[in-house]
Amino acid sequence: MNIHEYQAAELLARFGIPTNPGSVATTPDEAAEAAQRANGLVVVKAQVHSGGRGKAGGVKLAKSPEEAKLAAQAILGLDIRGHIVHKVLVAPGASIAREFYLGVVLDRPQRQVVVMASAEGGVEIEEVARNAPAKIRTAHVDPLIGLHAWQARQLGFELGLVASEVSGFAGIVQKLVNLYLETDATLAEINPLVITSDGEWLALDSKVSFDDNALFRHTDFEKLRDMNEEQVTELEARHSGISFVKLDGDIGCIVNGAGLAMATMDAVKLHGGEPANFLDVGGGANADQVAKAFELVLSDPNVRAILINIFGGITRGDIVAEGIQEAMHRVKVAVPIVVRLSGTNAEEGRAILDANGLHAVATMDEAAAKVVAAARAGSENPAERSA
Count of C-beta atoms within a 10 Å radius of residue 292: 24
The verdict on whether 6 is a catalytic residue reads: no
Verify whether residue 180 is a known catalytic residue. Answer: no
Distance CA 52, CA 159 (A): 24
125 forms beta bridges with none
User: Which of Mn ion, ligand GDP, none does 59 bind, CB closer than 5 to 8 A by kind?
Assistant: ligand GDP
Number of residues located near ligand GDP, criterion CB under 6 A: 18
51 binds ligand GDP (CB under 6 A): yes
Q: Is 94 in the site for ligand GDP (CB under 6 A)?
A: yes
**Min. distance of Cβ 190 from Mn ion in angstroms?**
8
- By CB under 6 A, tell whether 205 contacts ligand GDP: yes
75 binds ligand GDP per the rule CB under 6 A: no
End-to-end CA distance of the chain: 37
Q: Does 252 bind ligand GDP (CB under 6 A)?
A: no
DSSP-assigned letter for residue 254: E
Q: How far apart are CA 331 and CA 24, in angstroms?
A: 42
Distance (Å, rounded) from C-alpha 36 to C-alpha 92? 11
Binding letters toward ligand GDP, positions 152-191, x by CB under 6 A: ---------------------------------------x
Question: Could you tell me if residue 69 is left (phi over 0), alpha (psi between -120 and 50 degrees) or otherwise beta?
Answer: alpha
Q: Which of Mn ion, ligand GDP, none does residue 22 bind to, with CB < 5 to 8 Å depending on kind?
A: none
Q: Which of 127, 136, 166 is nearest to 150 (CA)?
A: 166
Catalytic residue among 6, 67, 101, 120: 101
| Range in contact with Mn ion (rule: CB under 5 A) among 134-142, 153-161, 188-196, 292-300 | 188-196
Beta bridge partners of 44: 60, 90
- For residue 70, the minimal CB distance to Mn ion (Å) is 22
Does position 204 bind ligand GDP by CB under 6 A? yes
Distance, in Å, from the CA atom of 262 to the CA atom of 364, rounded to the nearest integer, reads 12
Residue 59 in contact with ligand GDP, rule: CB under 6 A: yes
Which one of residues 45, 49, 292, 340 is an interface residue with ligand GDP (CB under 6 A)? Answer: 45
Q: Is 54 in the site for ligand GDP (CB under 6 A)?
A: yes
52 binds ligand GDP per the rule CB under 6 A: yes
283 contributes a contact to ligand GDP by CB under 6 A = no
- What are the strands of the beta sheet with 88-92, ordered from one edge? 23-25, 88-92, 42-46, 59-62
User: How many residues does the structure list for the chain?
Assistant: 387
Dist. CA 205–CA 171, nearest whole Å = 18
DSSP E strands, 145-274: 185-196, 201-203, 206-210, 243-246, 251-255
Catalytic residues: 101, 189
Binding site for ligand GDP (CB under 6 A): 43, 45, 51-54, 59, 61, 93-94, 96, 99, 122-123, 191-192, 204-205
Residues that bind Mn ion (CB under 5 A): 191, 205
